[in-house]
Amino acid sequence: MTTDERTGATSGSWKVIRETVILLVVAVGLAVIVKTFFVQAFYIPSGSMEPGLKVNDRILVEKPSYWRGGPQRGDIIVFEDPGDWLDENEDAGPSGVFAKTLAKIGLYPSGGHLVKRVIGVGGDTVVCCDKEGRITVNGTPLAEDSFIDPQQDCDGPMAGCSGWSATVPKGKLFVMGDNRDESADSSFHLCTADDGPDCDKNDAYVSTDLVVGKVVALVWPLGHARIIHRPAVFDDIAEPAKKD
């Protein structure tokens, strides 16, 4: 092989390497942009959203829906920990350097977040429970049997069935897991008479600023993959009464 031929071969090899590097940089950049502004993958860390979402299910969360408005009642949302809600298992996230790197650029499901259903938004009054054991929002009872784990006595047992109510502050959300027996959610963090004066009443609510996005699809395992819709029962909730 002549010098010119060797030089040409070397030049061609460097061109391939250069183009490959450029493509990788572009791909990573696009992945980061998609994760930051549009869609992000997460996994379910606990059984608090059963039966619909099970441990280690992979979900997709979209973000554009909340660019101009906050979450709606009935949405399943992913949000950052509002303060000591996460236990050790839920806070774990992906393990291993490779998985953590992929998670940062949006190519692997992230951990360290919570997944719950929005029951009440700012101004709403959430009460447990009516005579049939149903949670009410602004006086409207929720028929939740089609999507929550079956309950024996009432639909809010994590905080007990003895009766509780919460008026959601502006800019906050009242969220609950669909597996009411196993969900340390807003109802669980409500202040009670037993908690004493040091209990922070804001601990029960999630700021809308902490919301990452809305769960729109279960993508893994493939046998259970589906689009996730907001239950129609939330369409009939009355708006909160306006205060004078």
**Cβ distance 11 to 145 under 8 Å?**
no
Do strands 114-121 and 206-207 pair parallel, antiparallel, or not at all (unpaired)?
unpaired
What's the whole-number mean pLDDT along residues 148-174?
Answer: 90
188: which strand partners?
Answer: none
What pLDDT is stored for residue 187 in this prediction? 92
Q: Is 172 a catalytic residue?
A: no
Q: How far apart are CA 146 and CA 77, in angstroms?
A: 19
Lowest mean pLDDT among 7-21, 35-49, 116-130: 7-21
Active site annotation includes 110:
no
**CA gyration radius, the chain:** 23
Residue in 48, 183, 186, 187 annotated catalytic: 48
Q: Which of 116, 172, 186, 187 is catalytic?
A: 116
Residue 194 tokens read as 């037993």
What band does 141 get if pLDDT is binned at 50, 70 and 90? very high
Locus of tokens 């999507």: 147
189 class by beta-carbon count within 10 Å (0-12 exposed, 13-18 middle, 19+ buried): buried
CA 240 to mean position of chain CA atoms:
25
Q: What is the dihedral of CA 211, 50, 46, 41, to 10 degrees?
A: -50
Q: In whole numbers, what is the pLDDT of the chain averaged over residues? A: 82
pLDDT tens-digit readout, 75-98: 999 998 888 788 655 544 555 555
CA 115 remoteness from chain centre: 3
Instruction: Assess whether pLDDT exceeds 80 at residue 131.
Output: yes
Helix/strand/coil for 100: helix
∠ CA 71-121-63 to the nearest 5 degrees? Answer: 10
- pLDDT classification of 107: cutoffs 50, 70, 90: very low
Each residue's pLDDT tens digit, 214-224: 999 999 888 98
Q: What percent of the chain has pLDDT over 70?
A: 74
The Cα 65–Cα 234 span in angstroms is 17
Q: What 3-state DSSP class applies to 172?
A: strand
Q: Which residues contact 77 (CB under 8 A, 6 or more apart)?
A: 71, 115, 116, 117, 118, 173, 175, 211, 212, 213, 214, 215
**Is residue 244's pLDDT more than 60?**
no
Closest CA to 188 of 156, 154, 147: 156
